[in-house]
Amino acid sequence: MDNTFPSLITSANSILILISDKPSFDQVAAALSLYLSLGDKKDASISSPKPMTVEFNKLVGVNKITQELGNKNLTILFKDYLAENIERVSADVEGSQFKLTVIPKPGLTYPQKEQVELSSSGFASDLTILVGGDSDSDFSSLNTEDLNGVKIVHIGIKQFSASPDKGIVSYTLPVSSLSELATILIKESSLTLDGDSATNLIAGIEEGSNNFTGEGVSADTFEVFAHLLRSGGVRTQKGGLKKEYPIGSIPGQDLKVPARNATQSVAGGEKAVVEQPPEETPINSAPKDWFEPKIYKGTSVS
């Protein structure tokens, strides 16, 4: 059997992408872009054991990352509602619609809408892709029994350590970042690379390569980066241009002395800061005798 990454993608019907327990920005960008590229060809899902923090919010499609591992079954949980309050549950099919009715015991109230929590469970994918991490211990989700018998592969830029009994196949390439590797795999697998995925990968390469100064950066890195730009990717401004510069650092800039601040007592004993205009140096501030006529006396005798 051909175990190349493109062949595994082609033969899989459904794919789960797993993010490590402590992901970097580059890892999330790579995993999310790979997920988006599978969207129109495969039944794909992406999961992280931890919720995404604010630093990942600028990545397109970050809301698609769930904490649930499974996607096969629907679970309905009545949160903060005592099970003994329920007398019975009935299920009916009305036309083509399914209806579930919860009937409470006499005198008790039924579960409120805000107490109903929906989640997915059960695993239906036949290929799992681990993104990043140094070893299988970086993926706590691997401990679930749902992954028994599922083909597991790993992609990374460093050697991956895993227990032999897990049968994990690792694809590693010492490039600048996981996002660079993900771009290569997406291209080799003939997956869709749209502007959203390309934009995520651009941000991931810049972060993962420390703005092209890190290990693994090569001429190929810039070729991959150019490919992403041609695919509709956009570079995002992280900090913007600096708007304030030291006085006098820009040629032709007016030299202004910053205003002095003074405090002034107000009602209640508090003090308010009052801005004072800059002091102006009088033009005639030189000693007075500088402006008087000068008389020079000679001392030589002819």
| CB atoms closer than 10 angstroms to residue 195 | 13
pLDDT at 90: 87
pLDDT at 238: 54
Residue 59 and residue 44 share a domain: yes
Residue 94 and residue 174 share a domain: no
H or E segment to which residue 17 belongs: strand 14-19
Instruction: Flag whether 279 is in a domain.
Output: no
pLDDT at 82: 87
Measured distance CA(123)–CA(45) in Å, rounded: 11
Residue 187 and residue 58 share a domain: yes
- Give the rounded percent of residues in the chain with a pLDDT score beyond 70: 74
Parent domain of 129: 5-72+122-230
Domain end residue (candidates: 62, 89, 117): 117
Residue 20 and residue 148 share a domain: yes
What is the per-residue pLDDT across 245-278, written as a single tens digit (0 to 9) for each? Answer: 455 544 555 555 455 554 554 455 555 555 555 5
- The CATH number for 216's domain is 3.90.1640.10
Average pLDDT over residues 12-24: 92
pLDDT at 297: 59
Average pLDDT over residues 215-238: 92
Question: Predicted confidence band at 282 (pLDDT cuts at 50, 70, 90)?
Answer: low
Check: CB of residue 251 under 8 Å from CB of residue 244.
Answer: no
Residue 191 and residue 51 share a domain: yes
pLDDT over 50 at 140, yes or no? yes
Residue 132 and residue 85 share a domain: no
Q: How far is CA 271 from the centre of its chain?
A: 44
Instruction: Flag whether 134 is in a domain.
Output: yes
| CB atoms closer than 10 angstroms to residue 8 | 20
Question: 84 versus 121: which is more confidently predicted?
Answer: 84
Measured distance CA(193)–CA(36) in Å, rounded: 8
Per the structure, the count of domains in the chain is 2
Among 185, 179, 183, 139, residue whose Cα is nearest residue 163: 139
Instruction: Flag whether 292 is in a domain.
Output: no
Domain end residue (candidates: 230, 255, 279): 230
Per the DSSP assignment, residues forming a β-bridge with 101 are 90
Instruction: Flag whether 29 is in a domain.
Output: yes
pLDDT over 90 at 185, yes or no? yes
pLDDT at 241: 36
pLDDT at 242: 40
Average pLDDT over residues 214-231: 96
pLDDT at 100: 87
DSSP string, 264-295: EE-GGG-EEEEEEPPPPPPTT-S-GGGGSPP-
3-state secondary structure of 77: strand
> Any idea which residue has 């970042």 for tokens?
177
Question: 238 versus 19: which is more confidently predicted?
Answer: 19
pLDDT over 90 at 296, yes or no? no
Quick check: pTM over 0.85? Answer: no
Lowest mean pLDDT among 34-43, 73-82, 256-265: 256-265
Question: Predicted confidence band at 93 (pLDDT cuts at 50, 70, 90)?
Answer: confident
Residue 61 and residue 24 share a domain: yes
Instruction: Flag whether 245 is in a domain.
Output: no
pLDDT over 60 at 134, yes or no? yes
pLDDT at 237: 61
| CB atoms closer than 10 angstroms to residue 44 | 22
pLDDT over 80 at 156, yes or no? yes
Question: 91 versus 28: which is more confidently predicted?
Answer: 28
Measured distance CA(274)–CA(263) in Å, rounded: 6
Average pLDDT over residues 283-301: 61
pLDDT at 124: 64
Residue 79 and residue 91 share a domain: yes
pLDDT over 60 at 281, yes or no? no
Residue 204 and residue 90 share a domain: no
Question: Predicted confidence band at 71 (pLDDT cuts at 50, 70, 90)?
Answer: low
pLDDT at 249: 47
Instruction: Flag whether 88 is in a domain.
Output: yes
Q: Give buried/exposed letters for 199-224 (b at 16+ CB in 10 A, else e).
A: bbbbbbbbbbbeeeeeebbeeebeeb
Residue 87 and residue 225 share a domain: no
Residue 202 and residue 80 share a domain: no
Measured distance CA(174)–CA(157) in Å, rounded: 5
